[in-house]
Amino acid sequence: MKNIKIIALCLTLLQLLAACDDFIDKQPIDQLSQATFFADEPTTRTAVIGAYRSLTTSFSYGQAFIVVPEFAAGHMEHISGFPEYMEYTNFSIRIDNPWSLNMWTAFYGTINACNNIITYAPEIEGFHNNTALQNLVNEARFIRALAYFNLTRGWGEVPLILIPTSEQSTSADLRVSRNAVGDIYASIIQDLEQASTLPMMASGSQKGRASGIAAKALLAKVNLYAGNFSESAQLATEVLATGGYGLVSNFEDIWLNENTEEALFELQFDQQTPNTFVQNANPASRQEFFARESASEVFEEGDLRRDFTLRRAQDNTGAERLYVGKYRNFNPPAQNIPVLRLGEVHLIHAEASARSNNAPNNQAIESLNIIRERAGLEPISPGLSLEEFVRAVQEEKRKEMMFESEVWFDLCRTGLASEVLGVPSQQRFVFPVPQLELDLNPNLDQNAGY
C-alpha cells in the first residue's frame, strides 16, 4: 500500500504542475507542503484540474479502464495476444497482472488528489462565504466518488481512505484493511449527494467538469448497483426531466462531436492531454487493439449502431480487421471519453423503475424503447416478466454501451456474466488484489478464488 501513497502524491504534484499554465503561474510546488499549497481559489482550482487530468492517464480512462473491462466482456483483442490482456478474456487473471496494479494505483492516485482538496481547501480563509471554493470541493467529491465506484466494481472490498497521505505518513497509516462494499457505497453516496448541489449544468469553459446533473446521474447508477432501486429510479427520472439535455438523434454524433447535448460528464482530451487508447486502436495509427469478430454477433439485424461501433478497415498487412469504431479522432489523439450520458440514464431508469415496481411498468418500457427506437429497432412489447425485462435491458445496454467500460461490470452486477460470457465462477466477477499491495500491506487480503 505504501507504494500507492508515494505514487499518488507524485501523481498529484505532477498533475498540479501540468495544470498550472491554464490557471496560475508556475510555483515550486515540490517545496510546498500539501496544506500550504491551498492558499486561495486559484490554487484550489489548479488542484481540481489536476484531479480531473489524473482520470485521463493511460492507466485510467486514457486506456486501461477502457481496455480491461472490454477484454473481460469479450469485445476486444490484442494484435499479439499478450497474456496480460488475454487473462481478462479467459477469466484467469494472475495476481501479479500489471494492469490490475496499474488501474488500482491510478484510482488511488486520483483519490489522494481529491482527499487533499477536500481536507485543505475548507481551511482557506473565507471558505464558508465563498461559493466558488465550495463548488471546487464538491467537484473533488464527485471525482473521488467516481474513482471509488470504479474500484469497488473492479475489486469488491477495497480500503476506504478519506484523508490525504504523503511520504510523511506513518507505516500504521498506510497499512489499512479493506472495507465492506456497503460502507464504500455509503461513502460514495454521501459524496455525490453533496456534489449534486453543484450548478445543474456545466457549460462554456466548464464543459468536462462535474455538475449537479452529472452527480445525480452517477448517484442513480450507484444506487442501482447498491440495490436501492426506488432511489435510483427517482434520481434517473429527475435527470431525464432536466432541461438543456437530450438524446442526439444520430447515435454517431455522440463520438463524432464533443460535449453533445447527450453528454452529462465527458472527459476532455486535447493535444496537451492525448488519449492513449485512441492512438493504439485506429487503422491509420498504432494498431494494437482490435474489436473481436464475435462482437458483431451481439447486434440485431438492422441495428443502426453496429456499423459505427464496429469499424471494418485494413490493417498494416492489408488484411481486413474489425476496429473499435467509437473512438476515431486520432490525429491528434484528442477523442473525448463520455463517462456519463443520457442514453445510459434511460437504461438505468428502465431497470430501476421495473425493479422498484416488481414488474416492468409503462415508464420502464418507454425508457427502454426510446433507446431501441434511436437504434432503428422494433419496440419491446408489454408482457415480459421482471426477469425477462431486466435481461432485455442488459442486452440493450451491451449494444448501446459497447467499448464504454460498462458492460462487464453490469453483467457481473446482474449475475448474467456466467451465462452470457462464460465466467466459470462468481468469484471471478472481481479482479485480484495486486500481489505487490499484499506484499507491502499485511492487513490486506486477497479476493476469494485467486
**Domain extent listing, the chain:** 1-181+421-444, 196-413
CB atoms within 10 A of CB 169: 15
**Which DSSP symbol is given to 158?**
B
Lowest mean pLDDT, pick from 319-328, 390-399, 415-424: 319-328
- Distance (Å, whole) CA 431 – CA 450: 9
- Distance (Å, whole) CA 394 – CA 153: 17
What does the pLDDT look like over 365-385, one tens digit per residue? 999 999 999 999 999 999 999
What does the pLDDT look like over 120-177, one tens digit per residue? 999 999 999 999 999 999 999 999 999 999 999 999 999 999 999 876 665 566 789 9
C-alpha cell at 102: 496499474
CATH of domain 196-413: 1.25.40.390
Phi first, then psi, for residue 322 (nearest 5°) are -100, 125
Share above pLDDT 70 across residues of the chain, in percent, rounded to a whole number = 90
Residue 19 pLDDT > 60: no
Phi first, then psi, for residue 143 (nearest 5°) are -65, -45
Task: Please state which of the four CATH numbers 3.40.50.1000, 3.40.710.10, 1.10.3720.10, 1.25.40.390 is assigned to the domain occupying 1-181+421-444.
Answer: 1.25.40.390
- Distance (Å, whole) CA 419 – CA 411: 9
- Nearest CA to 54 out of 147, 150, 149 is that of 147
What does the pLDDT look like over 333-364, one tens digit per residue? 999 999 999 999 999 999 999 999 999 999 99
Look at the alpha carbons of 253, 256, 260, 265 in this order and tell me if their dihedral is positive or negative.
positive
| pTM, full prediction | 0.91
What are the beta bridge partners of residue 232?
Answer: none
Asked whether this chain's domains 1-181+421-444 and 196-413 adopt the same fold, the reply is yes
Share above pLDDT 90 across residues of the chain, in percent, rounded to a whole number = 80
- Distance (Å, whole) CA 355 – CA 232: 10
Lowest mean pLDDT, pick from 78-82, 383-387, 391-395: 78-82
Asked if 248 contacts 261 with a C-beta cutoff of 8 angstroms, the reply is: yes
What are the beta bridge partners of residue 313?
Answer: 321
- Distance (Å, whole) CA 144 – CA 64: 18
What does the pLDDT look like over 83-110, one tens digit per residue? 899 999 999 999 999 999 999 999 999 9
Lowest mean pLDDT, pick from 53-67, 89-103, 203-217, 430-444: 203-217
C-alpha cell at 148: 471509488
CB atoms within 10 A of CB 61: 23
Strands 76-78 and 263-267: unpaired
Assign 17 a pLDDT band (cuts: 50, 70, 90): very low
Asked if 328 contacts 311 with a C-beta cutoff of 8 angstroms, the reply is: yes
Most confident of 271-275, 277-281, 376-380: 376-380
- Distance (Å, whole) CA 113 – CA 20: 15
Q: State residue 169's pLDDT score.
A: 61
- Distance (Å, whole) CA 406 – CA 57: 19
For the segment 73-82, the average pLDDT, to the nearest whole number, is: 91
Asked if 379 contacts 373 with a C-beta cutoff of 8 angstroms, the reply is: yes
